[in-house]
Structure 1
Amino acid sequence: MNVEKIYNDKELTIKVDNQIDTVTAPDFENEINNEMGKFDSLILDFENLEYISSAGLRVLIMTQKKLQPHSIPFTIINSPDMIKDIIKVSGLDNILDIQ
């Protein structure tokens, strides 16, 4: 997994490449947690993400739970169809903003 963080004022975009699996999910979660309090909007760009496991989905849920009480927008963009399908099958498309 490769992660690139891009700030545009207080909007943070995190680009994730390769895969988020059981091995890489803790690192992915740490990358997000290390930026908490520094942004007013979070965008995850999954354009080059090839796979996400249940451990990766858990990170998405936990991130949503942390940001929601503070009304911080959290959006996932550029997901390949396979990633969108995984999110939909898990039922998370009802709680996550997928564009």
Structure 2
Amino acid sequence: MEIQKELQGNKLNISLIGRLDAVTASQLDKVIQTELTGIEELNFDFSKLAFVASAGLRILLVAQKRMNKQGSMKIHHVNDDVMEVLEMTGFSNFLDIEN
């Protein structure tokens, strides 16, 4: 998986490319643990994310909990396959998803 980041003041945009699974989730976890200090708006672009597994969902949950305390988090451009996983797991009920 490739992670592209763009910092604009207190806003961080993250684009995920490829698969967010057990092998790659640690990459995103590192970003969440080290780069959210001072961030008030976190935006994910999932337009090139092909797949998300439970390990990836856990990282999204950690990010959402952290951003609930310091700002907001939105997910943009979710494809049908990833949206199906988010809906089946109930994550679509508490994540702010904009297509």
TM-score, normalization by structure 2: 0.93
Match in the other structure for 2:91: 92
Which stretch shows the higher mean deviation, 41-50 or 60-69? 60-69
In structure 2, stretches of 5+ residues that fail to align are none
Q: Which structure carries more strand by proportion?
A: 2
The two structures, once aligned, show a CA RMSD in angstroms of 1.0
Map 1:1-99 → 2, pairs under 5 A: 1-70=1-70, 72-99=71-98
Q: 1:96 and 1:23 mapped to 2: Cα distance? A: 23
> Are the equivalent residues in 1 in contact too, given 2:42–2:67 (CA < 8 A)?
no
Cα distance, 1:42 vs. partner? 0.1
In the TM superposition, structure 1's runs of 4+ consecutive aligned residues that sit over 4 Å from their partners are: none
| Long gaps (5+) in structure 1 | none
* Cα distance in structure 1, aligned partners of 2:4 and 2:32: 11
Deviation at 1:26, TM superposition (A): 1.1
